[in-house]
Amino acid sequence: MSEISIDEQVAILMHGAEYGDEQIKEHMREELRQRLAEGRPLRVYCGYDPTAPDIHLGHTVTMRKLRQFQDLGHQAIFVIGTFTALIGDPSDRDKARPRPSLEQVEENARTYTQQAFKVLDPQRTEVRYNGEWLSKLTFQEIIELAANFTVQQFLVRDNFARRYERGDPIWLHEFLYALMQGYDAYALETDVQIGATEQLFNLLAGRKIQESYGQRPQICITFPILVGTDGKMRMSKSMGNYIGIDEPPEVMYGKVMSLPDEVMPNYFDLVTRWSLDEIARFKAGLSDGSLHPRDVKMKLAWEIVDEFHGHGAADAAQEHFRAVFQRRELPPDMPVRELSEPINVVDLIFAAGMARSKSEARRLVQQGAVKLDGEPVTSIDTVVEPREAVLRVGKRRFLRLTVAE
């Protein structure tokens, strides 16, 4: 176990936590202190529904907290919600989520562990799939779970209350999500569950279910959402305001540099490895004007790229940014593509891997985000002839075109 004092552990583990209720926060802080005082490794878990194949920076908020528990000697459990994903968490939604098929969920789940190990220590991580236990529940057991809650408890939740007031449909299966997540805590015999602030109801449901089955209730630690690159909405792939942890270093660096200045403290707290003292120093410097926002943002961008790609890649991404955006130079390390015949610009962008699909490539052209030798490409029907040129897509993706010999 860690030699760090219990008070220091509590300060580290509760840093950034938000509940929307100070009394709950203090209660959870005290329970955590008591559990740590037992001097044994705690079982700490967080669940992730594989509703999309990629993990973005927003997902890593809770993963980082799992890693902090690991570094302090505790057992981290990474739960892939192969069963809960079939419903989809309604906590942050104003309407029901589209329901994916089991095949889609299983396909998305294949890469989750590999991506998560960019944050978590694979040697100290227990990976579980909640279909292991949820798929085995009998109808009688589900009735027993449901008997712990009232319909009123669900309808007073903000998202359900708004939908009910508007007369929008609230599907019965959506109520089951909190029961299923709560049962995870019981099945895993957890001491601590980590989640988003908006999921507090689900985490508290876990406490209720554990108590009803004779277990000691878990400690809930919840964190606010990570704001996306637009500086307004939560980070989401569907919103297009995300930073993927598998994205190229220069793309990741550039996206961080595009953040509005005012959201930087949100990132300091939730997605850096900086110490509490470092975070306090950066916040104070921004507040009193002794630190320039651009300089701090470059440190933030370097820190994030370094964690996922290493020092060398972070240095190269920073130099790439300086060359392209500060000195207005073309990057020296552009990928090269030889052209032997004319090609439609949309097909070229997709074939070069500068867009995930042809529809995305068309959208980029239509939005004016594509330039050929500095000139905007305005039509999706544009044909690129074999020649020496530079194709630029968005602010950060470049491709040097040459003529095939």
**Domain contains 233:** no
Q: Are residues 283 and 160 in the same domain?
A: no
Q: Are residues 340 and 322 in the same domain?
A: no
Hey, how many other C-beta atoms are within 10 angstroms of the C-beta on 335? 12
Residue 302: which CATH number? 1.10.240.10
Report phi then psi at 145, rounded to 5.
Answer: -65, -50
Q: How far apart are CA 19 and CA 26, in angstroms?
A: 10
Strand 370-372 and strand 219-223: the pairing is: unpaired
Q: Are residues 74 and 168 in the same domain?
A: yes
Q: Are residues 53 and 188 in the same domain?
A: yes
pLDDT computed for residue 2 by the predictor: 59
pLDDT computed for residue 324 by the predictor: 77
Residue-range definition of the domain harbouring residue 293: 249-326
Q: How far apart are CA 338 and CA 389, in angstroms?
A: 11
Q: Are residues 258 and 381 in the same domain?
A: no
pLDDT computed for residue 92 by the predictor: 52
Cβ distance 264 to 297 under 8 Å? yes
pLDDT computed for residue 163 by the predictor: 83
pTM for this prediction: 0.73
Helix (H, G, I), strand (E, B) or coil at 193: strand
Q: Are residues 392 and 275 in the same domain?
A: no
Q: How far apart are CA 67 and CA 350, in angstroms?
A: 37
Q: Are residues 198 and 95 in the same domain?
A: yes
Q: Are residues 160 and 61 in the same domain?
A: yes
**Domain contains 291:** yes
pLDDT computed for residue 405 by the predictor: 66
CB neighbour list of residue 176: distance below 8 Å, 6 or more residues apart: 87, 142
Exposed e or buried b per residue across 188-198, where buried means at least 16 C-beta atoms within 10 angstroms of its C-beta: bebbbbbbbbb
**Domain contains 237:** no
Q: Are residues 346 and 261 in the same domain?
A: no
Q: How far apart are CA 326 and CA 307, in angstroms?
A: 24
Which residues sit opposite 401 in a β-bridge?
337, 389
**Domain contains 106:** yes
**Domain contains 134:** yes
Chunk the chain into consecutive blocks of 10 residues (it has 405) and report each block's average pLDDT, rounded to whole numbers.
Answer: 84 92 95 96 93 85 94 95 79 58 81 88 93 95 94 84 85 88 96 93 94 96 92 82 89 91 93 92 93 93 95 93 76 84 94 91 92 87 88 88 80
Q: Which of 297, 326, 355 corresponds to the end of one domain?
A: 326
Helix (H, G, I), strand (E, B) or coil at 58: helix
Residue 202: which CATH number? 3.40.50.620
Q: For residue 272, give the nearest of 235, 299, 244 by alpha carbon.
A: 299
> Measured between alpha carbons, how far is residue 152 from residues 107, 167, 177, 204 in Å?
36, 16, 16, 16
Q: Which of 308, 326, 344 corresponds to the end of one domain?
A: 326
Q: Where are the alpha helices (DSSP H) in 150-263?
A: 151-155, 158-166, 172-188, 200-212, 249-257
> Measured between alpha carbons, how far is residue 261 from residues 229, 273, 294, 318 in Å?
11, 19, 8, 18
Give the number of domains in the chain.
Answer: 3
Q: Which two tokens stand for residue 122?
A: 């694979």
Determine whether 207 is exposed, middle or buried from the number of CB atoms within 10 Å of its CB (0-12, 13-18, 19+). Answer: buried
Q: Which of 302, 326, 350 corresponds to the end of one domain?
A: 326
Q: Are residues 293 and 346 in the same domain?
A: no
Q: Are residues 20 and 145 in the same domain?
A: yes
Q: How far apart are CA 6 and CA 15, in angstroms?
A: 14
Residue 358: which CATH number? 3.10.290.10
Q: Are residues 150 and 282 in the same domain?
A: no
